[in-house]
Structure formats: C-alpha cells, structure tokens
Amino acid sequence: MQELGQAAFTAGASELNERSAEELLTSDFKEFSMHDMTFAVGTVETASPETVEKRTDELLATMKQLSQSRGYTSFLFMIVDIINMNCHLLIHGCADAVADAFNVPLEKGGHSIMVEGMVSRKKQMVPQLPHIQHLITNRAGVR
C-alpha cells in the first residue's frame, strides 16, 4: 500500500515539473477585487512541495509579469503540502502586509511565508484579504 501511494505522489510531482510557470500559477486560480485593489490567489496541492518550491524564482518572475499586465495589487500563490498540512505562500506585491496579516515573518528574500495549518483558499486565505487590504491602505509605503 505504501509503495502504491509513493508511486502516485511521484507521478503527481512529475506532472508539476512539466507545466509552465504560468500554467502552474493559474490552473487553480481566482481573482478578488476589494475597493480599488485586485488580489490574485493561485494554489497547488501536492505531497511533494519541494518540486514546486525549487521553481520559486521562475514562479515569482511570472507572478510579477502577470501582476503588471493584469493590474494585481498582490499575487499570492499557495503551495499546499497535503502531507504536513501547511502552506508555503509565495507573494508578489505587498509582502509585508500579507506576512503581518498572518502574523508570521517573511522568509529570506522577502517574498514568501510559511503558514502552518493553512490548506484552504476559500476558508483560510480569502477571509484574510480584507485585513490585508486594510493593512495596505493604512501603510505609507506599499511594497
């Protein structure tokens, strides 16, 4: 049983490597508008988060490009580890406000946070967007 499960996880990880960065970011993706801000939230659920995380630089560059062309205030990409039940959140735009909203520090490089227990965009990420929007609005400098 364990071998079969491991084979399924390995096959899933291989499929993630075959997708382009834009495809990976937007395959499970939604936009949310609040006042004059638009947030993009993409997600991928995987048993092998390191497969996606090793593409962080490529993903962030594509998030920046999509944000500029589509006018996103912040692009958030949830890499959900379904084994350990946590989320490595990549952030382009207003990273300080996002980290503050989740009360966790930004990781090295300033474009990601680790949120323990966060696995749902609908139940855990989206309810934070008004708080993030409020923090952005009340800050002098937007990063």
**Which residues are 118's β-sheet partners?**
none
pLDDT of 14 reads: 66
Residue ranges covered by each domain of the chain? 2-137
pLDDT of 139 reads: 79
b/e 1-16 (16+ beta carbons within 10 angstroms → b): eeeeeeeebeeebeeb
pLDDT of 16 reads: 84
Provide the 10 A C-beta neighbour count for residue 56: 17
pLDDT of 5 reads: 53
* pLDDT averages per 10-residue partition of the chain, 143 residues: 55 75 96 95 94 96 98 98 95 97 96 97 96 89 46
pLDDT of 9 reads: 55
pLDDT of 131 reads: 96
Q: Which CATH number fits domain 2-137: 3.30.470.20, 3.30.1300.10, 3.10.310.20, 3.90.79.10?
A: 3.10.310.20
| Residue position matching structure tokens 């923090």 | 135
pLDDT of 135 reads: 96
